């Protein structure tokens, strides 16, 4: 059987990209696509021996035009899975629908709490005691797709946005490769708003850090 193929979209420093490429996923990364020339993620991919391409969003007159070019490049590699790894673009509805059921994202909050960009500031302002991250399928509704896996961290009394973000990021690096591997092994099934997991039950856990 041919190994499944995946493409990763990245914009920034590439820390989640590095965790994915270093995890030995049961598939082959066909390409890393970046929308920002000079992004550190390009160096991360190259260090792992993965080909890269830049599609600079600033060179397109609209989100629709950029997404069309991005989709064409993705499809050229015939991926079974598209992984967003710090890809800082709001995707058009048509793009999300085109890759429905085969595109994952990781978000730095326990969705549905705190969608959007300022998750850590919102968590601190709200007074929650537990924060975390969520791997989910991408849908046209921002940060609202079916949830695959979540990991939690405690919110400490002396936390700043920076310390909380660092604690959450460490959990992102753990759970994103797990969820991606589940997909590539065919162990995930979408059932409406729910994701059903059919792999070893020992792996079907909600990963939560213990209190400090």
The residues carrying an active-site annotation are 107
DSSP sequence for 125-144: HHT-SEEEEEEEE--SSTT-
State whether residue 42 is helix, strand or coil: helix
Q: Is 35 in a helix, a strand, or coil?
A: coil
Q: What does DSSP assign to residue 55?
A: -
Question: CB–CB of 109/131 below 8 Å?
Answer: yes
- For 71, how many CA atoms within 13 A lie in the half-sphere containing its CB? 16
Alpha-carbon torsion angle 151, 174, 188, 196, nearest 10? -20
Cα(78)–Cα(30) distance, rounded to whole angstroms? 9
Task: Tell me the three state secondary structure of residue 33.
Answer: strand
């Amino acid at each position: 059987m041919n190994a499944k193929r995946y493409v990763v979209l990245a914009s920034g420093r590439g820390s989640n990209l590095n965790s994915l490429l270093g995890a030995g996923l049961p598939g082959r990364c066909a390409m890393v696509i970046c929308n920002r020339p000079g992004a550190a993620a390009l160096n991360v991919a190259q260090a792992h021996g993965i080909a890269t391409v830049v599609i600079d969003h600033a060179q397109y007159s609209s989100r629709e035009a950029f997404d069309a070019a991005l989709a064409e490049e993705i499809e050229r590699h015939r991926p079974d899975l598209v992984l967003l790894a710090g890809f800082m673009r709001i995707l058009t509805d048509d793009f999300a629908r085109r890759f429905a059921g085969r595109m994952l994202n990781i978000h730095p909050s326990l969705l549905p709490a705190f969608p959007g960009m300022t998750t850590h500031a919102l968590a601190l302002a709200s007074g929650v005691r537990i924060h975390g991250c969520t791997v989910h399928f991408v849908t046209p509704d921002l940060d609202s797709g079916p949830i695959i896996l979540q990991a939690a961290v405690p919110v400490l009394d002396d936390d700043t946005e920076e310390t909380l973000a660092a604690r959450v990021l460490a959990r992102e690096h753990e759970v994103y490769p797990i969820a991606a591997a589940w997909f590539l092994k065919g162990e995930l099934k979408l059932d409406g708003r729910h994701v059903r997991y059919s792999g070893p039950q020992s792996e079907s856990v909600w990963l939560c850090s213990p209190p400090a």
